[in-house]
Amino acid sequence: MNSSYNFAFLDEGTKREIRRKLLKAVAIPGYQVPFGSRELPIARGWGTGGLQVTFAIVGRTDVVKVIDQGADDSVNACNLRDLIEVTTGCSTTSDTLDATIVQTRHRIPEESMTAEQILVFQVPYPESLRFVEPSERETRRMHAEADYSKLWVFLYEDIVRWGEITLSHRYPVMVNHRYIMDPSPIPRFDVPKLHQADTLFLFGAGREKRIYAIPPYTDVTPLQFQDYSFHVEDFHGASCAECGSTESYLTEVYDRKQGTKQYVCSDTSYCMKRQEQQAGSDVTIGRLWHA
């Protein structure tokens, strides 16, 4: 830890404020709680909200994992992980099972997390009603009165035009039968993982100055119609070119030189563990969420 920084970079007053807001967010699942987002040595829109939440809850004995769209080795994930490590001195890992706090952008790890772990989301756009209403004042009223008719009409018109709901990410969900929430830009594949999970989910939007949460064992239901039910991405017939997985979320990779495409696991840690296990190493792979 660099002693020239306060522990976890933020001043203690700021961290106390964020923790108070987190308590309110946990007490009212899906409700967006305003908070005083601070300046950080990274640009807004690159994870400042999630980073402030992590700084507010991390302790000296915590083990932190940071991923960007499932990858541990992306530029964004590496820089945020280095900043956390320098300013806290806590350990970092790429193994989901070893982490006590996982900070993520756009994905939920393939291996299911436990009640002793916390998943922190970096959120670019927290407002689920922004598809249909540009006014912040009006969206506040709509949430307060549970007036979600515009969003239902938006989904209905999507079906009329395309024959299905075409939202591939930021799919709106109903939390605890009360608030419609934006689950951050995770793919549809990850949305069912939010329902009745053992883990505490915390969402931080630094640019928009909002915090919200999904406590453990909370009902989270994607919006759907009786005759047009919610469904996840279909990878039928595809498998990871590196580890052979057919159960994880796959990313399409195109080789321009060969003119071919293949699929690889989005979760690089899970993919590497499968490869090590196939090579004969003694590796523990956690239970998948959908199992």
Q: Which sequence positions are flagged as catalytic?
A: 30, 240, 243, 265, 271
List Cα–Cα distances, 146 to 88, 181, 186, in angstroms: 41, 12, 24
* Cβ-based neighbour number of residue 285 at 10 Å: 16
Q: How many helices (H) and strands (E) are present in the chain, helices listed first?
A: 6, 12
Closest CA to 82 of 134, 12, 9: 9
d(CA 291, CA 274): 17
- The distance between the two most distant Cα atoms of the chain, rounded to a whole number of Å, is 59
Closest CA to 164 of 235, 231, 221: 231
Cβ contacts of 53 within 8 Å, gap of 6 or more: 18, 22, 120, 202, 203, 204, 211
> What secondary structure letter does DSSP report for 288?
B
d(CA 250, CA 63): 27
| Residue 279: strand, helix, or coil | coil
* Cβ-based neighbour number of residue 161 at 10 Å: 9
Closest CA to 42 of 3, 82, 90: 82
- The CA angle 277-275-263, to the nearest 5 degrees, is 145
Cβ contacts of 249 within 8 Å, gap of 6 or more: 70, 107, 110, 187, 189, 190, 233, 235, 265, 266, 267
d(CA 99, CA 84): 14
